Chains A and B, each alone.
Chain A
Amino acid sequence: MSAVGDFSVVAIVKDARKPSRFFRFMRRNPEIAWGGFLLALMALLSVAAPWLGTIDPRAISTASRLRPPSAEHWFGTDMLGRDLYSRVLYGGRISLTIGVLSAAFSALFGTAIGLMSAFGSVLDAVIMRIMDGIMSIPAVLLAIALMAVAGASVQNVILAVTIVESPRVARLIRGIVLSLKQQPYVDAAIAAGSSMPKIVIRHLLPGIVGPLIVQATFVWATAMMLEAALSFIGAGTPPSIPSWGNIMSDGKALWQVKPFLIFIPAGFLSVTLLAVNLLGDGLRDLLDPRLSKGI
């Protein structure tokens, strides 16, 4: 009888501890809490767009052009009579997807290039000169040049951002791996006869993961900003697909008379960027104390 009683007490304590630990973590890391909350909200809004009272974001209605925000059109309508609320919610899907995929691809290629560079001496010199060269081209201009050649499409925006951002990830990973290689435990692993793949996976990757996640969140923010900038100047997501940058690009001709055409999508984009940046700052303090003093 007493054993059963003990067991139930433990279960209750365990149940009570679970949420409190979560909330304690969030209280201690307000940046992660706020960033995560805002980001989750934005993601939810764009994923659940079809069930949130939206209409077809591409439906043109010449009868109701440039309506101010009202009960029927919460954010008003644009110059083609398209519902801005629907466009902004669906636009979030494209902007967030481009951000996430660009961050993932940049992290993947950047890590691969960085590892390759850290392990080969001649290769290192060649790779790093190429990376230096790519990083000497201002990011926006390189992305513009790539888009001008590749043509406007969502895939090409992701490709352009990945080409622009991978070298920055590669340089970071290379630096970390070079310093980890000096650690005695890596020497010990080599002396013990561990194979190269095993050393990389067991001893080096754990040291990379933290900084990589932090860097990836910043690439995510940069990617969404680049998408918006490219689409805004007419070299990003094609006009037929609504993205936050695109919606602003549509609105720029009339922004002085209808400022909401710019400022509503701008607000969504800025809040999302703020969320990702807060999340990145919080994760950096949490995962990578060495970097938290710098930028």
Chain B
Amino acid sequence: MLIYAIRRVLMAIPVMGVVALMVFGLLYITPGDPAMVIAGDQATPDQIARIRVSLGLDQPPYIRFGTWIWQVLRGDLGTSIFSNQTVAHMIDQRLEPTVSLLILSIVISISAGVPLGVAAAWKKGKAVDRALSIFTTAGFSIPVFVAGYALAFVFASNLHWLPVQGFTPIADGFWPFLRSLILPAVTLSLVYSAVIARVTRAAMLEVLSQDYIRTAQAKGVGPMLILFRHALKNAAVPVVTIIGIGIATLFGATVVTENVFAIPGLGRLTVDAILHRDYPIIQGVVLLSSATYVLINLIVDLLYTLVDPRISY
């Protein structure tokens, strides 16, 4: 187990290396001067010169990459071109809304997706199963911002149950904080819970056809106990895997959803950075979310042995 864990951690290093190289290299694969690319069409020569110095463009690429990696490893993500604040500081300021939104979305998605998938597998071909099939197809077909606007239109604009836009920090009270996050979190959960439900259903169908389930039924174990105690445990590996992999989609969807609900998180920061061509911020956000994704999937991989004792390394 320990050897497997070490090997798995070592495998994550080249992946992160490629990510870093991509994030760093993107700016240089485009034709032309990166400083001019960042500065945009209306930049003065003076601005371009300033950006060139701040990027260290007078040095050869491998030295720039080395310096950049060294700085990133020490937590220095560079300085925003537009606001002149450090990227780490700007990300730090926007972390609370995004992290709260992500955690709430994950909680909603798992607590909706897993039982839904279990129910659909149990009543295969019946109304629940067909409803899930419609729900998942809709979940994959409706873009996240469309779902966001539809929910905001019904529950905020018309029914006035929840705020239309904005974010209340947790310091201003837990209830207003939660109210401001419900709609965006439900929006994000639509597609994520659809993915989880589909995988749960498929994994459960596989397990429910096995002999020990029939044995349990024969000796008179109730359906709830069979489903959640006997079957779900053995169906857990694919479910946990998709929860880990789905995080990437969730990160992307968050950028768009924060824009719909005017939540001042990392997504808004990214979108503002595009408008200002503030590349260091985009680099920082991409790097941070990729690292989080790799880390979460590393943890998921290591969790397999806890979830399923049959797997041993």
Contact = CB atoms under 8 A, between A and B. Distances in A.
Nearest to B270: A144
B231 interface: no
Interface stretch (A85-93, A134-142, A170-178): A134-142
Given A140-B251, A144-B286, A233-B274, 20 more contacts: A134-B18, A136-B18, A136-B248, A136-B290, A144-B274, A145-B23, A148-B273, A229-B143, A229-B145, A229-B256, A233-B259, A234-B274, A234-B275, A248-B146, A259-B153, A263-B150, A274-B141, A281-B137, A295-B199, A295-B242
Contact of A273 (B29, B141, B274, B279): B141
B195 interface: yes
Contacts of A146: 26
Given A134-B18, A256-B164, A295-B195, A144 B137 contact: no
Contacts of A234: 271, 274-275
Contacts of A274: 137-138, 141
Among B141, B157, B242, chain A packs the most CB atoms within 10 A around the CB of B141
A266 interface: yes
Q: Report, as a range, how many residues of chain A touch the other chain.
A: 35 or more
Contact of A270 (B21, B141, B202, B286): B141
Interface string B1-37: 0000000000000111111011100110110000001
A248 B141 CA distance: 16
Interface in A126-176: 129-130, 132-142, 144-151
Interface string B219-242: 000000000000000000000001
A277 interface: yes
Contacts of A228: 143, 145
A252 B149 CA distance: 9
A149 B274 CA distance: 9
Contact of A266 (B14, B29, B143, B205): B143
9 contacts: A132-B18, A136-B293, A137-B293, A138-B249, A138-B293, A140-B255, A148-B282, A229-B144, A232-B256
B26 A149 contact: yes
Contacts of A23: none
A140 B27 contact: no
Contacts of A136: 15-16, 18-19, 248, 290, 293-294
Contact of B19 (A137, A225, A232, A294): A137
Contact of A129 (B15, B199, B270, B290): B15
Given A145-B282, A273-B142, A235 B26 contact: no
B202 A294 contact: yes
A107 interface: no
A266 B157 CA distance: 18
A128 to B, nearest CB: 10
A113 interface: no
A262 interface: yes
A278 B138 CA distance: 10
A145 B195 CA distance: 26
A217 to B, nearest CB: 12
Contact of B251 (A141, A256, A259, A262): A141
Contact of B18 (A129, A221, A277): A129
A269 interface: yes
A269 B146 contact: yes
A119 interface: no
Interface in B277-291: 277, 279, 282-283, 285-286, 289-290
A18 interface: no
B202 A138 contact: no
Contacts of A259: 149, 153, 157
A133 B270 CA distance: 21
